[in-house]
Amino acid sequence: MEQIRTYLALGDSFTEGLNDPYPGEDEVFRGWADRLAEHIAVRNPGLRYANLAVRGKLVRQIVDDQVPRAVDLAPDLVTLCAGGNDMIRPGADPDALAVVFDDAVRRLRGTGARVVLFTGFDTRGLRSGSRIRGKAATYNMHLRAIADHRGCDVVDLWPLRAFNDPRAWHEDRLHLSPEGHRRMALLVAGVIGVPVEGDWREPWPPLDRADWLTMRREDVHWARTYLVPWIGRRATGRSSGDGRAPKRPTPDLLSIDRECPRH
């Protein structure tokens, strides 16, 4: 494995780490990118890590706000995941988004950084996700082509059935659970060749399936708690990331003792 001195994570809530809070800190999220940085730091003492991701951001916002900062920092490794928030909006054009995304990747690769891209999950396996499946598949094809053209690594999430288990997801049905983030960090580490303990493909324990009434109650809770507020933000042009700064805006030394609680 080549030496990694600086790692930057770019993106939206997926990369920011919702909903994987640090123990005792409900509003401070860890997430797969922080976990990945911890794995990298074991083999690369002195690693500097920044996470510029902000929840709710669209492709254009990520490209305009985060990519220039990343280019200036000239990191060794960049992970970039963007487009999920665009896909869930009516009228999203995956072809146009791919043009914007490709230019961002070109600029990042121009620094000499190793760039890791992510396809989206196959939403067929997720409750309420089938309506965007066609757009997501088209966008994924563009992402794979961009990765091939620009010489990037790809974390291909589309075929991964391990993440179809509901325990991989938070109750909001949009973000990974802590266990989902743990497995994602292991997966990405494998793609970039970082040795780790554990296997993201580890079988899930047997799951007791909920009955019909319980599932309907969960649907009602989800709609009231997550769907209605989301619709409200869309109707008023607001985003969950409005006014938020990145949680780790500067590449700082990663303290494994502090960042990696035992569990």
Residue 218 placed within a domain: no
- Compute the distance between CA of residue 139 and CA of residue 129 in angstroms, rounded to an integer: 15
Q: Contact, 148 vs 111, CB < 8 A? A: no
Residue type, 72: D
Residue 263, pLDDT > 50, answer no
Specify the length of the chain in residues: 263
Residue with the two structure tokens 């993106």: 11
For the chain, strand residue ranges (E) read 6-11, 21-22, 25-29, 48-51, 77-81, 114-118, 153-155, 248-253
Residue 108 placed within a domain: yes
Residue 26 placed within a domain: yes
Residue type, 115: V
Q: Using one digit for the tens of pLDDT, what is the confidence trace for 46-68?
A: 999 999 999 999 999 999 999 99
Q: What band does 227 get if pLDDT is binned at 50, 70 and 90?
A: low
Residue 89 placed within a domain: yes
Residue 136 placed within a domain: yes
- Compute the distance between CA of residue 159 and CA of residue 253 in angstroms, rounded to an integer: 35
Residue 230 placed within a domain: no
Residue 232 placed within a domain: no
What 3-state class would DSSP assign to 213?
A: helix
For residue 25, CA distances in Å to 21, 22, 28, 29, 254 come to 6, 5, 5, 8, 18
Q: Using one digit for the tens of pLDDT, what is the confidence trace for 120-138?
A: 998 775 555 567 889 999 9
Say how many domains are in the chain: 1
The pLDDT value recorded for residue 207 is 84
The pLDDT value recorded for residue 260 is 45
Residue with the two structure tokens 């006014």: 243
List the domain range (segments joined by +) for residue 37: 6-211+244-259
DSSP 204: P
CATH of the domain at 168: 3.40.50.1110
Nearest to 12 by CA among 241, 243, 252: 241
Residue 51 placed within a domain: yes
- Compute the distance between CA of residue 129 and CA of residue 157 in angstroms, rounded to an integer: 15
Q: Contact, 154 vs 147, CB < 8 A? A: yes
